[in-house]
Amino acid sequence: MNILGIFVGILIGALVTGLIIWIVGKLGLGLEVSGFGPAYIAAIVIAVVSGIILWLLGLLGIQIGGGWLGAIVNLVIAAIVLLISGRIVSGLRVKGFGGALIAAIAIGVFGWLISLLLHAIGIA
C-alpha cells in the first residue's frame, strides 16, 4: 500500500471515529461534544494519545493480554485516554472517570456495530 492510501485510510478512520464520538456525545453517555469538528479533532487526538500510551507501556515491558482481564485493562486505558483528550480538545467535555468508562464502552459498541455493517456490505 502506498503512503497516499495509508493517509486516506487514516482520514477515513478518523471521520468514522469522529462520527461515533459525535453520536455518543449526543446521547449523553459520559461525554459532551459541541459539534462534529471537535469530535473529529478528538478522534485524531485520541488515536495519538492511545498510540503514545501503548508505546510507553511497551517500553516498560507491559503487555496487555486477552480475555476478560485484557478487556478491562483496555477499557480503563480507553477511559484515561478520553479524560486526557477532554483536557486537550476544546469542545470535548468528559464527565469524570465514570463518564469516561461509559463513553468508552459506548464508543467501542458503536465502533463494533459500524465495523460489522461495513464488513456486511463489503466496504471493509
Instruction: Note down the domain range covering 54.
Output: 3-120
Residue 70: what pLDDT? Answer: 80
How many domains is the chain built from? Answer: 1
Task: Look up residue 11 and give its three cell numbers.
Answer: 482520514
Terminal CA-to-CA distance of the chain, rounded, Å? 15
Residue 23: what pLDDT? Answer: 93
Residue type, 80: I
CA atoms of 24 and 43, how far apart (whole Å): 12
Residue 124: what pLDDT? Answer: 64
Return the residue matching grid coordinates 488515536.
47
Strands (E), the chain: 31-33, 92-94
pLDDT in tens, the chain (124 residues): 588 877 887 788 889 889 999 999 999 889 999 999 999 999 988 888 888 888 888 888 887 777 888 888 888 888 998 999 999 999 999 999 999 999 999 998 988 898 898 889 887 6
- The closest of 36, 38, 24 to 105, measured between CA atoms, is 24
Residue 1: what pLDDT? Answer: 58
